[in-house]
Structure 1
């Protein structure tokens, strides 16, 4: 991939445009007048044919990009509308707030996962880092809100740093490194809690507990924190040099290096960011539950990956949207809430539906990608 192509992908667009988007070549019988219809008439016919053929390709390209970016949003709106009509309690303020608060913690984890996947990596440690962050925050809350927040951020950020260094500098596979970190983080948590026998509590009247249980303008504080983080994350990914480097590294690592991008620094940074956000989500969850629950986080890494991919981010890297990841999280949580509203279905159906959604999205992404690649490679 050339440097030009990498820059186009870094802007979040669909990549290089098909050759047909430029001026149409004269058709046979055109300006030089060998075909029927004379020079003037043949020229108009050839240009019209070119515009029709190439315009259709450009239109299909735009529709493919639109489906990839906003398909999850359409599914979310339709699911919410159907649920509102089918269940009287779904659209109530209390239920919607519960969905928003429960989605906030997964969304923060998914935000960090978005940066990692866009850069071409994967992070399987976030579930264990999440629960470790919650336990550390609950333990630190006895020493004040500053310790309760800083302790999980420092420890979880350090885990992300180790992941990034091993992946970027030592060039180990992200799957293996983060799988080892997943086991290590959970082992640290079990050691702190005496194999899960000890549960550290958070005083409900403490300032730290207000971060999880407080309300602002009718919404829980975790929801506002999540919205602020996603707004900041979107600006960083789309409007800063670091964000463009993340896209470039995920699109083509060699081309990014030739463009002067520090591939090692970019990779290390996204894993540190993922660790920090997972630790912060765990701390906020501990404040919300008023305890460092040790049984949480199992399978959370898969939920985060599912939400990111459903939101339109390519697992192969180089393309993704922060807003799409938030929509993906909300879609998963709305589906879970609908299953709970039905009442006759157990929680296992949540996993089945989530898995089916993920498979469907990956199949659609693959199909759209192959169609786009075929259009780019076909002669016009």
Structure 2
């Protein structure tokens, strides 16, 4: 009898495959470095430019680094910076608010009217209440009705300016803050406005970086559909950012009237564009999803320094030159942001 030959039941799988070779290595490390560099340029670029502009201005101008000039930069337009603070939250969600300039003017007139007729309490409460109500209406139209923020807030710009004309009889009536009113102390000097604005910016930074609300803003701006699928309160968040923006704009106008002593009807024109420019220059993506309050501080300081230099050396060209500089800075920053984003996508 021939011996039985046992064969393996395991089928023949052929030759063993060669181990996969990773091609990342130095290429992936270089890509990560470029991404980090691009992120730093976006976040810190304005700060570097601010430091360079301030250094050059200090070397060529003996009056620029003086305390009187620094006080003028910090104190004169400090309350206008609050428009940029509110705009930061709106833009991070991917929206826009074009009504803040008109709301600034309306808040100032309402505050002066309240101070003249009923005292300090109405000067504070009235503009804040109207600003919150105005922001609620705009927020509902954007978040619930699904209307475009650009259209809604453009209508808000015109509507707030029209209400301003109604309150002041087409600009014929100017409301004055009484000289002895305690409300005037909120806008007096240099440090009072600066400290008020600094406190509000500090609260804004905490709200954006240390709360669930701030995380929701970034997620919604990055990808609204994904945020909705994750169960985030998209509609409520959009509503709240518009309420916050309008209320801050009205508060800024009220504090501005305390500093000026009256409600100026012609003020605020174009302030919304300056606020947008400051926010975007500070590193907040115009498309939403990324931004910081600290970057907005850098943006407003950079524009304030540049405007101060224009007033000193190019005042003969008027406000048109200032608007041109704002537009040029905004265009350059948006272009840089687009190039950085395109480079990351190609990698």
Give your verdict on TM over 0.5. Answer: yes
CA distance in 1, matches of 2:315, 2:140: 48
Match of 1:289 among 254, 260, 264: 260
Q: Determine which of 48, 61, 65 is the counterpart of 2:39.
A: 65
Using the alignment, how far apart are the partners of 1:145 and 1:286 within structure 2? Answer: 12
Aligned to 2:150: 175
Aligned-residue offset at 1:33: 11
Out of 148, 165, 188, the position equivalent to 1:213 is 188
Aligned to 1:52: 26
1:235 aligns with 2:206: yes
In structure 2, the partner of 1:141 is: 115
Does residue 164 of the first structure (1) align with residue 139 of the second (2)? yes
Secondary structure at the counterpart of residue 197 of structure 1: coil
Map 1:334-345 → 2, pairs under 5 A = 334-343=305-314, 345=316
- For these two proteins, the number of residue pairs brought into alignment is 330
Q: State the alpha-carbon separation in 2 of the partners of residues 68 and 147 from structure 1.
A: 42
Task: Give the C-alpha shift of residue 151 in structure 1.
Answer: 0.4
> What is the alpha-carbon distance in structure 1 between the residues aligned to residue 60 and residue 115 of structure 2?
43
Alignment of 1:1-380 (within 5 A): 50-142=24-116, 143-214=118-189, 219-343=190-314, 345-347=316-318, 348-375=320-347
For the Cα contact (< 8 Å) 1:121–1:317, is it kept in 2? yes
User: Equivalents in 1 of 2:17, 2:136: separation in Å?
Assistant: 67
Cα deviation for residue 253 of structure 1 reads 1.2
Q: Is the 8 A contact 1:148 1:208 kept in 2?
A: yes
Query: Structure 1 residue runs of 4+, over 6 Å off?
Result: none
Q: Whole-Å Cα distance in 2 between the matches of residues 161 and 234 of structure 1?
A: 22
Q: Give, in whole Å, the separation in 2 of the partners of 1:94 and 1:141.
A: 30
Distance 1:106 1:137 in 2: 15
In structure 1, the gaps of 5 or more residues are: 1-31, 376-380
SS of 2:79's equivalent?
A: helix
Residue aligned with 2:80, SS: helix
Between the aligned partners of 1:84 and 1:113, the Cα distance in structure 2 is 31
| C-alpha deviation, 1:244, in angstroms | 0.8
Larger Rg: 2
Determine helix, strand or coil for the equivalent of 2:174.
Answer: coil
Q: Deviations over 1:114-142 (max 9, x none)?
A: 00010111111000000000000001012
Q: 2: distance between equivalents of 1:370 and 1:101?
A: 39
The 3 A distance-change label for structure 1 pair 367 and 127 is: same
Kindly indicate whether the alpha-carbon contact (under 8 Å) linking 1:103 and 1:330 is maintained by their aligned counterparts in 2.
Answer: no
The match for 1:4 is none
CA deviation after TM superposition for structure 1 residue 330, in Å? 1.1
Tell me by how many angstroms 1:229 deviates. 0.8
Residue 239 (structure 1) shift? 1.1
Report if the CA contact (8 A) 1:134-1:292 is conserved. yes
Q: Give 1:110 shift.
A: 0.5
Distance 1:283 1:51 in 2: 58
CA separation in 1, counterparts of 2:28 and 2:236? Answer: 41
RMSD over equivalenced CA pairs, Å: 1.7
- Output the TM-score relative to the length of structure 2: 0.92
Question: What is the distance in 2 between the residues matched to 1:204 and 1:237?
Answer: 38
